[in-house]
Amino acid sequence: MAAARARGRVGGRPKGLWAEAQIKARAVKSMYTLKTHTILEIGQLFHLSRATVYRYLAWQELK
């Protein structure tokens, strides 16, 4: 690891959501906040599991 870092390499998974997921997360948050859809409906619209919908809502809270 030390040799890799000396060459400028960083290990591990990148933090946060990728760009397309951030867009979906914002849309999920707005739909949930406006109370236009339930968690289950939002998941079906975006082809996401309930757990992912909740994860996106939590990500928005952290920002």
Angle at 50 between CA 43 and CA 18, to 5 degrees: 75
Q: Answer whether residue 39 is part of any domain.
A: yes
Residue 22: domain span: 18-62
- Residue 2: pLDDT band with limits 50, 70, 90: confident
Q: Answer whether residue 28 is part of any domain.
A: yes
- Number of domains present in the structure of the chain: 1
Please tell me the pTM assigned to this model: 0.72
- In tens, the pLDDT along 6-59 reads 898 888 887 778 899 999 999 999 999 999 999 999 999 999 999 999 999 998
**Alpha helix ranges (H) inside the chain:** 2-6, 19-33, 39-46, 50-62
Q: Answer whether residue 26 is part of any domain.
A: yes
